[in-house]
Amino acid sequence: MIINRLTVDGKDYFLPEPVTELKQSILEAIKAGGGYVVIPPLRGGPGLDILFSPGMPVVWAQIEVSDPTAPEAAQDSFDPELG
């Protein structure tokens, strides 16, 4: 599962895919000289309005995380009888 991390002015926001539209909205707000963009929540609930302006540091990163609902991969196990 891919999670996107948006860092705005030193604060991290974690977002689900897709983020293409969100990236475009942020770029448009900055090009317009500033504007609010709604950042959707990772899981249910209301989004967060962030005011983006020219010169504000914005960094995107993608993080791959394992799906907690997926079956676990085979793991090495220790059998006390075998040592």
Give the C-alpha separation, 25 to 57, whole Å.
16
10 close to 57: Cβ distance less than 8 angstroms: yes
Dihedral sign of CA atoms 8, 13, 18, 22 in order: negative
Q: What is the average pLDDT across 24-49?
A: 92
pLDDT of residue 32: 97
Q: Where are the alpha helices (DSSP H) in 4-78?
A: 20-31
Q: Residue 36 forms beta bridges with which residues?
A: 51
pTM greater than 0.85? no
Please choose, from the candidates 47, 51, 52, the residue with its C-alpha nearest in 3D space to the C-alpha of residue 14.
47
pLDDT of residue 83: 53
Q: What is the average pLDDT across 45-70?
A: 87
